Amino acid sequence: MSEYAASVVAETIESKPDCKLGLPTGSTPIGMYKNLIQFDLDWSNVKTFNLDEYENISHAHPESYHMYMRKNLFSHVNLKEKNIHFPNNEYDKTIKAEGNLDLTILGIGHNGHIAFNEPGSALTSKTRKVKLAEETIQANSRFFKTVDEVPKHAFTMGLQTIRESKRIILIASGSDKWDILDECFNGNVTTDRPASMLQVHPKIEVFYAS
């Protein structure tokens, strides 16, 4: 799964050196980044757009997604600082002006969230500040000393921008993710399970590793 996802990112950069990538954080993509940094790629014209970031967290905080990306990818490749993007007020406008994302890699939460689009998020939702679901706060508390330290809000790319990505690869690992994957991709399309909205995307691949 990780090797495949990394090879698709690498092929995308090789075939379109100025591609726009939507990139995830979390435990699942670590293997993909480990594989990806082994490729000899020119990232100098690539633009990256992270899916999300916690609210009110220092970029230097070890659990910030800025830090995660620096550690797992940015410090290993020749990506230009100005080409690195995290959600801000202009996110949707910027991504649209770039011709939309060429490839987005997604993880999935236990409640079917993608990025931080929690259940109930609209199909047309834009980049915005969201309140994290209790389930997400509990799941992410494994990265913090106590659950109280987990930020309660975050900024996330909206479902609209994710759906407009030309290609999507969703990766999920662990037997605890199987039921939600099954519900999202074999069940009904519903805002109760945000990832289910990807069923109708013309170019999506879903990978699961137990």
> Under the rule (CB under 6 A), what is the footprint of ligand PGA?
26-28, 107-109
Q: Is the dihedral of CA 168, 115, 164, 47 positive or negative?
A: negative
Q: Report helix, strand or coil for 99.
A: coil
Find all residues with CB under 8 Å of 96, minimum gap 6, and list them. Answer: none
Least Å distance, CB 58 to ligand PGA, is 21
Among the options 111, 164, 192, 201, which is catalytic?
111
Cβ closest to ligand PGA, residue 10 vs residue 30: 30
Among the options 52, 53, 66, 102, which is catalytic?
52
Least Å distance, CB 46 to ligand PGA, is 22
Cβ closest to ligand PGA, residue 28 vs residue 104: 28
Cβ closest to ligand PGA, residue 2 vs residue 41: 2
Active site residue 45: no
Least Å distance, CB 107 to ligand PGA, is 3
C-alpha 2: how far from chain center: 14
Cβ closest to ligand PGA, residue 87 vs residue 109: 109
Spatial separation of the C-alpha atoms in residues 206 and 72, rounded to whole Å: 22
Spatial separation of the C-alpha atoms in residues 88 and 193, rounded to whole Å: 25
Least Å distance, CB 62 to ligand PGA, is 15
Report the candidate in 162, 168, 167 with the shortest Cα–Cα distance to residue 194: 162
DSSP state of 133: P
Among the options 72, 102, 113, 117, which is catalytic?
113
Active site residue 111: yes
In the complex, residue closest to ligand PGA by CB:
26
Report the candidate in 174, 166, 161, 168 with the shortest Cα–Cα distance to residue 87: 161
What tokens does 155 get? 């900024």
Among the options 53, 72, 118, 140, which is catalytic?
118
Least Å distance, CB 109 to ligand PGA, is 4
Spatial separation of the C-alpha atoms in residues 136 and 174, rounded to whole Å: 16
Active site residue 56: no
Cβ closest to ligand PGA, residue 58 vs residue 138: 138
- Active-site positions? 52, 111, 113, 118
